[in-house]
Amino acid sequence: MNSGESTLNEKQLAHYDRDYYAFRSIWPPLFRFFERDFPNGDFHLLDVGGGAGRFADYLLARYPASCATVLDMSPRLLERNRPDVRKWLMLGDAIRLDELHLSRDIDVVSFNFVLHHLLARDEVSSRRLRCGVLRQAARLLRKGGRILIIEPLYHGMLHEDLPSIMIYRLTRSRCLAPLVKRLGSTTAGCGVLFQSRKSWRRMFTRAGLEVNDSYICGAWEINPLYKIGLNIASVRTGLFWCAPGRSDWR
């Protein structure tokens, strides 16, 4: 597998100490996913790129029989986790899940607003890298386990993937970094690669995952100038509840 080239520094990572889950529309479909497959609420969650642990905290509070491992590459974000006897913290790189000697009793591996940060040397190899990470995640699951992916879905006006490619090129450029940073990007100089709904779906299939359930939240409000400049038709939050193909089950 390609090695990753994400070079977010701790100052950039500090921007991610925020609550992405305060918007309510995300929760009813998420609870539906969990409660259908884990009706007793007794699951072990591995939240990859779980940062300051807010997502895990919400689930631990709702499901008293659950436990969670929060994995992140940022010591600073991990330190900001609220202590909980049912929560463990782990410093590590998402692209090397196989090497982290994680316990193989995991019921749900979640990637919440994380996969778009995993980059290799270009767009194609970045998608290949993500696909490999999803395959590694599937190998950690118990039988009946699930993979949850939450991602912003960028959809272009002229071509579905055009905004994602433009944002990638702009944020990846070191020359343009000061300008892109002034325009509000937290990933200026190191890059971010979003994907469209169709592009994620294709990747899940390539990774051997079946989408058991999904939900697309309402459209984000985007500055009209950015919409025109970046050819954005819409940005929505997509939730994908996936199962490994039968051949991937241990």
Ligand X SMILES: C[S@@+](CC[C@H](N)C(=O)[O-])C[C@H]1O[C@@H](n2cnc3c(N)ncnc32)[C@H](O)[C@@H]1O
Residues that bind ligand X (CB under 6 A): 4, 6, 13, 16, 20, 49-51, 54-55, 72-74, 77, 93-95, 112-114, 117-118
- Is the CB of 76 or the CB of 142 nearer to ligand X? 76
Largest Cα–Cα distance in the chain?
53
| Burial call 110-125: b when 16+ CB within 10 Å, e when fewer | bbbbbbbbbbbeebeb
Q: How far apart are CB 157 and ligand X at their closest, in Å?
A: 25
Residue located via tokens 């993500």: 130
Say how far apart CA 171 and CA 184 lie, in whole Å.
Answer: 11
Q: How far apart are CB 211 and ligand X at their closest, in Å?
A: 20
- Is the CB of 196 or the CB of 237 nearer to ligand X? 237
Q: How far apart are CB 147 and ligand X at their closest, in Å?
A: 14
- Is the CB of 102 or the CB of 157 nearer to ligand X? 102
Say how far apart CA 177 and CA 187 lie, in whole Å.
Answer: 9
- Is the CB of 6 or the CB of 196 nearer to ligand X? 6
Distances (CA, A) of 122 to 5, 14, 126, 137, 193: 10, 25, 6, 22, 10
Q: How far apart are CB 102 and ligand X at their closest, in Å?
A: 13
